[in-house]
Amino acid sequence: MTTKQILDAFSEGLMRDERILNARERELLTSLLQNAREASCSNPETQAALNTAIARSVGETVAQRAFTVLGGSILDQIVARGAGLAGSQESNFTRLFGGPGPGTGPQPPSGPHDIPGQPPRPPQPPSGPPSPGINQSLSAMPLRQSVQPNQSAGGAGVALLDSPDIARAECVILDEFLAPLEMEELISYTLEHEKQFMVSSVVSPTGESGMADYNHRRSRVLMELGPHEMVVLHRVQKVLPMVLEQLGMQGFSISRTEAQITASNDGDFFRAHCDDAQEIIASRRMTFVYFFHREPKQFEGGELRLHDSQTDGTHPLSVGSYHSIVPQQNQIVFFPCSTLHEITPVQCRSRAFADSRFTVNGWLHQ
């Protein structure tokens, strides 16, 4: 049973709670359902499509408000109800939430105050955004793919995977990371600040920053996220304990954070690199990449590839296998900064800035 099915089954009772849907909203919902039935009574396919759309919208609204009103206990209730409905089926809690269930293993902190330099965030009103986890799915191991030796960053063959010195690429993926309104506001902010985007730079092997190298990286970046930086960092902080556990990493004190918005348009790319390879950025421990774009999606490519690697004594080299992650709306990927990774070329026919592949790239320093 999926999270959506559990929420659908649980929503009927929650809809009677006036803290979640008030009387006027329930009246409008009833009218909407009745009108939808009348408008599509002669077409079963249309009726089914309308029912699905309404159920999804209402389910998401109920989930967002219910978590804010009821707090963490909502998870216990949803999972308990889901277990009863699923019968003997294997629980999806581990797959969806990254752990064996409530009350076992590390729990996310209660607020954003563990991020240095950021004040505690006051409790959100019932209409506020959901806490991460309700409508998220988690995948710790995307499909691993192999490439030919001449396609890999280091030109080495797949046979090297037998070596114990190989660093395996690991990542955690979360879907529906931001609330829909938060994502829409981030998209609007990004498009409104097109003129403030600058050519992306890289850190040179000698440690110099602020250098543009079109043979290694091509894109544009916005260094100021405005109010959206705290929104994203708050979400990251909430799921970080789960992410660290999934990756088998030890917890660490965050000394500082970095975040930027990257716009990748037609022909843009970023060749294989590590995010902690030079002394100036050696304190980075965790990388996150949040995907978003204007709908409908107008670009292809731009895959995030996380390579299995082996060092030549100085630099990590791909051994010919990798995780390939296709950008998905409102999805975030976490991986250690030491992971060798690249961005494949983007294809965007319109070449319009608004049709770009957008990401929030961030790093957590120890």
Given this model, what pLDDT does residue 48 score? Answer: 72
Domain 138-365 classification at class level: mainly beta
Confidence of residue 234 (pLDDT cuts 50, 70, 90): very high
Q: Which residue has the higher pLDDT, 74 or 134?
A: 74
Q: In which residue are the tokens 């995780």 written? A: 323
Q: Which residue has the higher pLDDT, 25 or 357?
A: 357
Q: What is the mean pLDDT of the chain?
A: 74
First-last CA distance in the chain = 39
Given this model, what pLDDT does residue 58 score? Answer: 67
Q: What is the pLDDT of residues 146-169, one digit of tens each?
A: 443 333 333 333 333 445 689 999
The angle at the Cα of 90, spanning 88 to 94, to the nearest 5 degrees, equals 150
Q: What is the pLDDT of residues 30-46, one digit of tens each?
A: 777 777 767 666 677 77
Given this model, what pLDDT does residue 97 score? Answer: 31
pLDDT at 360 over 70: yes
Given this model, what pLDDT does residue 63 score? Answer: 64
The angle at the Cα of 344, spanning 165 to 142, to the nearest 5 degrees, equals 55
For the record, the structure tokens of 107 come out as 């729990």
Cβ partners under 8 Å of residue 304, min gap 6 = 289, 324, 325, 327, 333, 341, 342, 343
Q: Are the CB atoms for 143 and 323 separated by under 8 Å?
A: yes
Q: Which of 11-25, 62-76, 328-342 has the lowest mean pLDDT?
A: 62-76
Confidence of residue 181 (pLDDT cuts 50, 70, 90): very high
- Cα maximum dimension of the chain: 71
Q: What is the pLDDT of residues 189-220, one digit of tens each?
A: 999 999 999 999 876 554 455 677 778 899 99
Q: What is the pLDDT of residues 317-352, one digit of tens each?
A: 999 999 999 999 999 999 999 999 999 999 999 999
Amino acid, res. 276: D
The mean pLDDT value for 282-305 works out to 97
Given this model, what pLDDT does residue 334 score? Answer: 98
Q: What is the pLDDT of residues 2-16, one digit of tens each?
A: 444 545 555 555 566
The mean pLDDT value for 161-188 works out to 90
Taken in order 83, 20, 65, 137, the sign of the CA dihedral is positive
**Rg for the chain, CA atoms, rounded:** 22
**Would you mind telling me the total number of residues written for the chain in this entry?**
366
Write down the number of H helices and E strands in the chain. Answer: 7, 16
pLDDT at 104 over 60: no
